[in-house]
Structure 1
């Protein structure tokens, strides 16, 4: 018999794609898929387990769904994803509210796991994380004009602070044929903004084809009727001139690059097991800015890795001021069990690390404010995301704004503007990190 199955997805966009794959499998099996857990026969929570804050969010969501079960408003609870993979034995022992678990190697077993849990069983599925099926159908859950294309799974970079290779397995690219077939489906459905994602897109193809083939893939994607192609995430040591040439040549690829740097001090970079030096990073950013006019850079930075003293932190602050990186996510080092960095000597006091995060966030906000001020009086192409009743105007994003992580553009218009359309907006003001303006008729 058909069941009502609710899906809740936490964490990154890569995790969301896995949720969309599970949703498609469940729908194909004849069940009803919903985003509302209240009244569902089963809720599937796809978790992140990357750092402490992600684990806390996952546990909070489990407790909220458990409260629905307790009140008789939810039947069963399945927990999938990274938290399940990481705590295979502990999760159900410590949280008896959970009725079953699926690891990151078992997303495609969702239908049989549902049937087992409905029948009163307690499924525990932990398949091979190095060999997973990534080419299945998806029930795309993003707005109809935006979609993600996950081109690879896993990671081989083995940064000393990162647990992801232990949760997601080795790096494995999807074939060009499967990716282009999926991209055609997305384009045919009306997607205007394609966001190319993987833990490291720059490594794409090395395992399948013996060489980097991201440039080849992007060239083919740009032949499809997308308006924007956005890139997440490029590792600095893998960005070569050939790839930059493709980004510069293909006008659909946005001059917005998410390139995780994590730090700038050579000693800290080495301790992180990163392969770039400070000099190489600065040279790369300079080359990118020269080749890509109006480039907006996004990065992630970590404060408080073991061995980071005041001098190393000041060096990071100076770099952020001088480089003018427009978008930066600042994170406090989280000593994740099972990673080399968790047992390194010279651990930084958490309060000190937290203070450094606050200082760097404040510094970055000033960089961002200066960038927004530089936009005043200009015109930006904006992807409209609809009308915001709270603000009393339309809202959208420019090429400089990736969904959910960057700013917005709020604008007025004389007539109706449909979500998913592109409009030119004259920028007249700034507001709390966002831009304001009026449509150019």
Structure 2
């Protein structure tokens, strides 16, 4: 059978999709990214917040239209949306021919073959015990890949449904991660992006102590050029880990720390474990220890009870800390979370206005950082030639794929994708940098 895969949501979800693709290919089926003309389309969904649910349903309806036009055979929907709405989804979306929960990604071949026999598979394995090792069919460019070091989450933030969708925190073994990383390096990966819902907690369940630093030291022995870290929680980012980041030249001075807010009352209501004073002290320490550090964070506006004064405190913090990268989100009252049942829900229009104000503020911070790069030379990972811009495009250490900016640059000859080059920055353009290659 010809099986098409579409992955929505985060990079962690993409890794699950890549695992399913490998299983399907190993079973003898043909894997494609184009659902038109496929026997089966597998849609791996996100169901984290309202906008993600809307995107997933829109994709389901688009695939259903292909079915109606006889351009697609069956539709299998997997991931967080099905895990969250397992009792409603088949009833409300009869276009779907089968569903997989987040505990049943490895049942994808069985589900596809069941649909071919006319059955409607509904597989929901134990979300606390999943198989995270095994082959992947990597879909990112050949020079970049994700390494998911753990699944699940134990943080139980008041606004978040992830623990109920992905289960408790489960570290993968060092041996399995290093074996997978070695294969990625052998396949030509030059930028390894270490991911999990919370990478700082790595090893606490399996080895009964934080082991991220030890894992990173081993990963840096492999022939990667860049190692990038995503989602380090502030309360777990200790001096030992900072020492490793500072001491390993392959680890980029780019850290993604989801802070969510800065006001102490709001942080406590969110069930976050850090205070404003602790966050400010940590960011100061990181700036001192890691020259040229670029910070990325996520912030939520409009948590129930958030006052104008508390929002202004968040604005002041962003002005003073000058965090270079920030994703700003409007609070989404997700059923089943403590925050959804909190009193004093903020009017959605007010929350939206706060998001817009913070986005505008953050754009000025980012523009200031970009302008301060003028005249500097940055190492850039070339991602190819952009015909629309008429020049080459890539990313610096300050830019993670799909979430940050780009560096557009001219060169006297051909620069193959996956090549590292030095680019002198000569300008800025809508949040991106422009420059010319230094021969």
Separation (CA, whole Å) in 2 of partners of 1:350 and 1:280: 30
Residues 153-212 of structure 1: CA distance to partner in whole angstroms, max 9, x if unpaired? Answer: 000000000000000000000000000000000000000000000000000000000000
Alignment of 1:26-41 (within 5 A): 26-41=24-39
Alignment of 1:340-351 (within 5 A): 340-351=338-349
Alignment of 1:113-128 (within 5 A): 113-128=111-126
Per-residue deviation at 1:291? 0.1
Is 1:201 matched up with 2:204? no
2:16 matched to which residue of 1? Answer: 18
Per-residue deviation at 1:307? 1.1
1:309 matched to which residue of 2? Answer: 307
Residues 62-89 of structure 1: CA distance to partner in whole angstroms, max 9, x if unpaired? Answer: 0000000000000000000000000001
Residues 113-170 of structure 1: CA distance to partner in whole angstroms, max 9, x if unpaired? Answer: 0000111110000000000000010000000000000000000000000000000000
1:264 matched to which residue of 2? Answer: 262
Q: 1:241 aligns with which of 234, 239, 242?
A: 239
Alignment of 1:267-416 (within 5 A): 267-416=265-414
1:52 matched to which residue of 2? Answer: 50
Separation (CA, whole Å) in 2 of partners of 1:406 and 1:379: 19
Question: TM-score with structure 1 length normalisation?
Answer: 0.99
Q: 1:432 aligns with which of 419, 430, 433?
A: 430
Per-residue deviation at 1:417? 0.2
Per-residue deviation at 1:220? 0.2
Separation (CA, whole Å) in 2 of partners of 1:57 and 1:230: 28
Separation (CA, whole Å) in 2 of partners of 1:391 and 1:60: 31
Separation (CA, whole Å) in 2 of partners of 1:348 and 1:118: 48
Per-residue deviation at 1:8? 0.1
Per-residue deviation at 1:10? 0.1
Q: Which runs of 5+ in 1 are unaligned?
A: none
Residues 214-240 of structure 1: CA distance to partner in whole angstroms, max 9, x if unpaired? Answer: 000000000000000000010000000
Q: 1:417 aligns with which of 415, 420, 428?
A: 415
Q: Which runs of 5+ in 2 are unaligned?
A: none
Separation (CA, whole Å) in 2 of partners of 1:359 and 1:64: 34
Separation (CA, whole Å) in 2 of partners of 1:375 and 1:67: 48
Q: Is the partner of 1:328 in helix, strand or coil?
A: strand
Separation (CA, whole Å) in 1 of partners of 2:363 and 2:69: 44
Per-residue deviation at 1:18? 0.1
Q: Is the partner of 2:380 in helix, strand or coil?
A: strand
Structure 1's consecutive aligned runs of 4 or more residues displaced over 3 angstroms after TM superposition are: none
1:228 matched to which residue of 2? Answer: 226
Structural RMSD (CA): 0.3
2:182 matched to which residue of 1? Answer: 184
Q: Is the partner of 1:166 in helix, strand or coil?
A: helix
Separation (CA, whole Å) in 2 of partners of 1:118 and 1:159: 41
Question: TM-score with structure 2 length normalisation?
Answer: 1.00
Q: Is the partner of 1:285 in helix, strand or coil?
A: helix
Is 1:133 matched up with 2:120? no
Separation (CA, whole Å) in 2 of partners of 1:79 and 1:205: 32
Q: 1:112 aligns with which of 95, 110, 120?
A: 110
Alignment of 1:157-168 (within 5 A): 157-168=155-166
Separation (CA, whole Å) in 2 of partners of 1:100 and 1:284: 47
1:68 matched to which residue of 2? Answer: 66
Q: Is the partner of 2:412 in helix, strand or coil?
A: coil
